[in-house]
Structure 1
Amino acid sequence: MTNALWCVLVAALLPLAGTVAAKIGGQMPARANHRVREWLDGLEGWTRRAHWFQLNSFEAFPAFAAAVLVAQYLHAPQVRVDQLAYAFIGLRLAYFIFYLADKATLRSITWIGGLACTIGLFALGA
């Protein structure tokens, strides 16, 4: 399995970082698990932003996963595919940190970088 495919697995698991941070930081009581989405919507501050990171990660994942698969299916240079996949993961981790720290401009820049990596992966296959 290529490094880029391992990055797809990491990207699939990244939303868990947000949900764990939100639930632990928000001190989720056991009874809240019956209506967890409602409870998460009531969070404030960094715990709410952790939840939003989770949601955004679910949104970013399909395009990234498809881009890696397309690039590999079309036999793009594997080194470049791996580099873009690593960059995507690194940018998503930075995005998480900037989201929690409420650094909106840096968060947006890293989001754009992640999108550029996804587009780059598709372009490699062209």
Structure 2
Amino acid sequence: MTIAYWCVLVAATLPYLMIGVAKIGVRGFDNRRPRDWYEKSTGFRRRAVWAQQNSFEIFPVFAAAVIIAQLAGGDQATIDGLAIAFIASRIAYAISYLADLHLLRSLVWTAGFACCVALFIVAA
């Protein structure tokens, strides 16, 4: 399995890590109605929920980009490098979201999306 494919697995786990951050140390979480709790959360917990949602939103684009780049026979080293850069951007995104650094968050989100676009270009 390629590094890029491993990165797809890592990207798939990031949303669950974010919701884990939101729930750490929480009392009174009602698993019967988790979305009610998410809507009422505040501070870094609320931002972790939003980071989770965004991670789910970007995942299909990244996964498709990696798969298409590999199926099209793109240069493997380039694909792996872009996939690693995407993961690094998503980690930076999560940290900046939790820390409420909105400008940095937007910058690293853009960098991650650019990695996805570049993967499609590699496939061309």
Q: Which residue of 1 aligns with 2:14?
A: 14
Q: CA deviation at 1:28?
A: 4.3
What is the DSSP-based 3-state SS (H/G/I as helix, E as strand, rest coil) of the residue aligned with 1:75? coil
**Equivalent position of 1:109 in the other structure:** 107
Percent of pairs identical after alignment? 52
Matched with 2:28 is: 29
- Residues in 1 aligned to 2:69 and 2:16: alpha-carbon distance in whole angstroms: 26
Structure 1 position 40 matched with structure 2 position 47: no
Cα offsets for 1:51-90 (capped at 9, x unmatched): 1000000000000000000000000000000000000000
Could you tell me how far apart the structure 2 residues matched to 1:88 and 1:21 are? 21
CA RMSD in angstroms comes to 0.8
AA at the equivalent of 2:94:
F
- Deviant stretches of 4+, over 2 Å: none
1:12-34 deviations in Å (ceiling 9; x for gaps): 00001110011115x0425x111
**Partner in structure 1 of residue 120 of structure 2:** 122
Partner residue in 1 for 2:65: 67
Equivalent position amino acid for 1:48 in 2: R
User: Size of the alignment, in residue pairs?
Assistant: 124
* TM-score when normalising by structure 2: 0.98
Does residue 49 of structure 1 match 2:37? no
Q: Gaps spanning 5+ residues in structure 2: where? A: none
Query: What is the one-letter code of the residue matched to 2:2?
Result: T
